[in-house]
Every structure is written in structure tokens, then in C-alpha cells.
Amino acid sequence: MTNKKTLVLGATPNSARYAYLAANRLVSHGHSIVNVGIKTGEVAGVPIEKPEVIHNDIDTITLYVGPQNQPQLYNYILATNPKRIIFNPGAENEELKRMATEQGIETEEACTLVLLSIGQY
């Protein structure tokens, strides 16, 4: 299996949230992660950082931020220039999807947890 370094956007230390579950599941499947969010703390042993540092080695951004809160993150997401963006349920956004596609970034409306569980991540 290939390590697909993943940026979890919307990371939270709240164990009841899907972003928390996804971060832990990604690590357990052998993927390195970068947690980015507005909360403080850590998930899966990785600190949560603010969306300030641009990471240039990201394969996938898995998005756990609702569309109403995404516009202020557009520049950050696009500057990261991942190979793909996964829009998890509730994070779908046609505007961001179009912008990413125009930049050559693959987009996928899917659930990271499901992709991992069926071996399609």
C-alpha cells in the first residue's frame, strides 16, 4: 500500500466527529496526516495546526468543513496543490470543485471512512 499523505481539513479533537475518526483511520491504514483546523489539540498523535503553513507534499485533502466556511480557505487549499480533494458528505461545493479542477486537482465526492473500509482510498 502506498502512503498517501493526507491533510485533514476541519480536524478536531472531538472523538464524536467524523474528521477525528478519519484521522485515526488514515493513520491506522499507514497514511501520514497533517491535521488542520480551528480547534486546538491533537488527533492520532498529530497536533492540529491553523491553516497558515502551506504543505507542498500532500497527496489528498479530505474536507470536513461545510461549504459556508470554505471560501476563506480557498487560497490555502489551492496553494497546497494536492493531487485530489475528497469532499466528504456535507462538504460538497461546486465552486471549489470547479476551481480545483481548473488547477488540475482531482475532486471526489465520497466518504473517506468508506473509501478506507473498502480499500479504495
Please state the domain extents for the chain. 6-98
Give the least confident one: 1-5, 9-13, 90-94. Answer: 1-5
Q: Is residue 1 over pLDDT 90?
A: no
Architecture of domain 6-98: 3-Layer(aba) Sandwich (3.40)
Mean confidence (pLDDT) of the chain: 97
* Mean pLDDT on 16-32: 98
Q: Is residue 99 over pLDDT 80?
A: yes
Predicted confidence at residue 2, as pLDDT, reads: 87
C-alpha distances in angstroms, 4 versus 29, 41, 57, 90? 10, 23, 10, 23
Predicted confidence at residue 11, as pLDDT, reads: 98
pLDDT, tens digit (0-9, with 9 covering 90-100), for 41-61: 999 999 999 999 999 999 999
* Mean pLDDT on 16-45: 97
Name beta bridge partners: 52: none
What's the pTM? 0.97
Half-sphere exposure of 76 (CA within 13 A, CB side): 18
Query: Any idea which residue has 478519519 for its cell?
Result: 22
